[in-house]
Amino acid sequence: MNNINVAHFIEESDSKFLKSFPDFLVKIIARIIRQNDINKIMNKYSDYVGIDFPPKILEYLKVKFEIKGEENLPEDGRCIFVTNHPFGIIDGLIVLSVVGKRYGKLRIISNDYLKYFKNLNPITVYVNVFEKNSRLHAAKINEVYESDYPIVNFPAGFVSRIKNYKVQDREWKKSFVKKSIDSRRDVVPIKINGRNSMLFYTLFLFRQAFGIKLTLELILLPREMFRKSGKTIKVNIGQPISYKSFDNTRTYYVWAQEVREQVYKLN
Q: What is the pLDDT of residues 214-254, one digit of tens each?
A: 888 988 999 999 999 999 999 999 999 999 999 999 999 99
Supply the pLDDT for residue 113.
Answer: 67
CATH for 238: 3.40.1130.10
pTM assigned to the model? 0.91
Q: Tell me if 18 is assigned to some domain.
A: no
Supply the pLDDT for residue 262.
Answer: 97
Q: Tell me if 67 is assigned to some domain.
A: yes
Q: Tell me if 117 is assigned to some domain.
A: yes
What's the rounded mean pLDDT across residues 141-149? 95
Q: Tell me if 23 is assigned to some domain.
A: no
Residue-by-residue DSSP string for 100-133? HHHHS--EEEE-GGGGG-GGGGGGEEE--SSSPP
What confidence category does residue 133 fall into, taking pLDDT thresholds of 50, 70 and 90? low
CA distance 19 to 151: 37
Q: Tell me if 27 is assigned to some domain.
A: no
* Total domain count, the chain: 1
Q: Tell me if 38 is assigned to some domain.
A: no
Q: Tell me if 15 is assigned to some domain.
A: no
What confidence category does residue 1 fall into, taking pLDDT thresholds of 50, 70 and 90? very low
Q: Tell me if 202 is assigned to some domain.
A: yes
Of 266, 240, 242, 238, the closest CA to residue 69 belongs to 238
Domain holding 219, by residue range, is: 49-264
